[in-house]
Chains A and B, each alone.
Chain A
Amino acid sequence: MNSPHQKLPGPGGAIAPRARVVIAKPGLDGHDRGAKVIARALRDAGYEVIYTGLHQTPEQIVATVIAEDAPLLGLSVLSGAHLSIVERVLALLERQDAADTKLLVGGIIPDADVRALEAMGVDAVFTPGAGIAGIVETVHRLTTHLNDALEPAC
């Protein structure tokens, strides 16, 4: 599918492996255009992308995050069920000691819900019109310090 060991120049010109990220489609919504575009864009940017496929329960998604040891999860929801789904995903991550997983949400999401999601602990929310470059940049920012943390302190 994609090459997990692909190395791209990291910040400051250093060669660092990019993080493993999970892109998921929770719930019954089958509109996966956005999820697939983001998955491709992140893969092209050097990330190892695990795409869950359609119709995933919060339990299945969190199990994938844990099994893949992914530091970042992107959820795509266009059905209006985002608040209920994100609440359950966050609770499950917490229960699995994975509350430090970075969480991005994309979809048709009203402004008030964007603020609600951020208050719940979502790291970034993207709505229609969000550019690919900006999303990749955000993923980069959210996962970069993780790479730094892997470096032994000296």
Chain B
Amino acid sequence: MEPVARSESGLPIKPLYDGWDLAEFDADARLGAPGRYPFTRGVYPTMYTGRPWTMRQYAGFGTAKESNERYHELVNAGTGGLSVAFDLPTQMGHDSDEAVAQGEVGKVGVAIDSLDDMRTLFQGLPLDKVSTSMTINAPASTLLLMYQLVAAEQGVSGSRLTGTIQNDVLKEYIARGTYIFPPKQSLRLISDIFAYCHRELPRWNTISISGYHMAEAGATPVQEIAFTLANAKEYVRTAIAAGLDVDDFAPRLSFFFVARTTLLEEVAKFRAARRMWARIMRDEFGAKNPKSQMLRFHTQTAGVQLTAQQPEVNLVRVALQGLGAVLGGTQSLHTNSYDEAIALPTQKAARLALRTQQVIAYETDVTRTVDPFAGSYVVESMTDDIEAAAMELIQAVEDRGGAVAAIEQGFQKSEIERSAYRVALEIDHQERTVVGVNKYALDEEEPYEPLRVDPRIEAEQCERLALLRKERDGDAVERALDDLRTAARGSDNVLFPMREALRHRATGGEVAHALRDVWGAHVPVDTF
């Protein structure tokens, strides 16, 4: 008998699908119309026939000034939304002049220590016109408030601001590791953000519940959507328990997934995820507003599939990955640069990545009709298979007491690490082909000159901090940080005193440390 092919999720893929596979298929119930429950075919009726997805390239490095220049270039080159990468000290709630920040300042993103840096970052960019996505989690509230304060200085009110904060701390405990506070306190901060934004920033996407980082850590497509939706359920439960009405915050929830080179399974994954979320929100949480049931998502192409060997081949991988995201109905897309397995992208590589999306959008015909794969024997079958497997895995999380309890038991992390190890062994044993690495390799690679971050940035950033600490009203900062600690100890929304502290030029590190004083820091149990 022929060996059965397996998808990335380990589900069987048959050599042939035909009408028998969809004999029981109820298209009305399983698909519905585009823009209608259960949103399998997409969240909008016209999808890309009206306008393409938002081309949103994640960028930011070095100082706020350099990143600002890159944003102006991206806007001029036709990108539709900004996406800010922060350096690790900023992501972990440390200032650039702390010992733990040494060697990390400005490396993987821009260093933002205070309102001063944030003002420089968005200098000359019309915040009422651009939408801004910020990849920031544990200190998301701090960066969001700085953004709001800068916009206010430009005369743009909170009600006109659009964008997204990632703000998804649960996945940080499972993958990527940029957490600060323990899970319970993190969830409280997140529901404070939901409540604050409902009042102050009604058009802001308050969270981007992310499978991407779990996928990069090794999660299969089924694990990716199951663990993401299980985390999403935990956020929804937390907000409801804090007294919010589901339809007041759920329309602002958004999602973030990966796109792999395995195009058919990825398209099925996106469609399955939409159908699952719609049902969960309607049936489990009683959401009435269709917007609460819509799974809107951003996609980034799979960085982990890029190779340092023959890096130009990555352009081809990214094109296929991006195509999968579009065929799956993404709302926005980041295509990776081909040199990212070597270093931070050069300007030319970043431009080519954007051009890849533009070719998909404007030269192919995949945008001319909605959900082109609907009714495909194989894709509908795979969509059903992924949905069934993912629902089962969500149930396994719920059986452990929900996402937080499962995280504390190390469940998701160990499942993902098992998948990662399996893939590594398959590559080593030549059971999985990686072009240019374990097959079709070159004897000698061509030299490649990567982008370098200026090492002086760290010293300059520290000088700016020293100046800020001298110039500002220190007593006002201390009083504001005390108010923040008081709110953190009680149940008042912490974002209001936090905004006052930042207005008085408290640093991101000082705000995070004030909260650490009250909430403590997360210490993981890490084994392998």
Contacts and interface: CB of A to CB of B under 8 A. Distances in A.
Interface of A: 1, 27-33, 36-37, 39-41, 43, 49, 51, 53-55, 57, 79-81, 83-85, 108, 110-111, 127-129, 131-133
Given A27-B88, A30-B178, A128-B341, A84 B102 contact: yes
B177 A79 contact: no
A125 B92 CA distance: 27
B396 interface: no
A132 B424 contact: yes
A129 B100 contact: no
Interface string B289-304: 0000000000000001
A36 B217 CA distance: 10
B342 interface: yes
A40 to B, nearest CB: 5
A26 B240 CA distance: 39
A110 B343 CA distance: 6
Main secondary structure of the interface of A (DSSP, over half): loop
B126 interface: no
Contact of A39 (B102, B340, B344, B528): B528
Contact of B421 (A1, A37, A79, A128): A37
B434 A1 contact: no
A107 B448 CA distance: 17
Contacts of B526: 51, 53-54
Given A40-B528, A108-B342, A111-B448, A81 B107 contact: yes
B307 interface: yes
A37 B424 contact: yes
B307 A30 contact: no
B61 to A, nearest CB: 9
A56 B178 CA distance: 13
Interface in B418-451: 420-421, 424-425, 427-428, 434, 437-438, 447-448, 450
A32 B177 contact: yes
A108 B417 contact: no
B108 interface: yes
A129 B88 contact: no
B107 A80 contact: yes
Interface residues of B, number: 49
Main secondary structure of the interface of B (DSSP, over half): loop
Interface string B31-72: 000000000000000000000000000000000000000000
A40 B527 CA distance: 10
A149 B92 CA distance: 44
A110 B176 CA distance: 22
B177 A54 contact: yes
B177 A55 contact: yes
A49 B527 CA distance: 11
Given A36-B421, A53-B524, 17 more contacts: A30-B177, A31-B216, A37-B417, A40-B528, A43-B528, A54-B526, A79-B104, A79-B107, A80-B343, A80-B344, A83-B103, A85-B103, A110-B342, A127-B341, A129-B308, A132-B424, A133-B428
B104 A108 contact: no
B482 interface: no
Contact of A128 (B172, B176, B216, B307): B307
Interface in B66-112: 88-89, 91-92, 94, 99-104, 107-108
Nearest to A37: B424
Given A131-B438, A133-B428, A33 B218 contact: yes
Contacts of B438: 131
B527 A1 contact: yes
A60 to B, nearest CB: 11
Contacts of A111: 447-448
A83 B101 CA distance: 14
A43 B176 CA distance: 23
B486 interface: no
A33 to B, nearest CB: 5
Interface string B339-361: 01111100000000000000000
B104 A27 contact: yes
B3 to A, nearest CB: 24
A41 B420 CA distance: 12
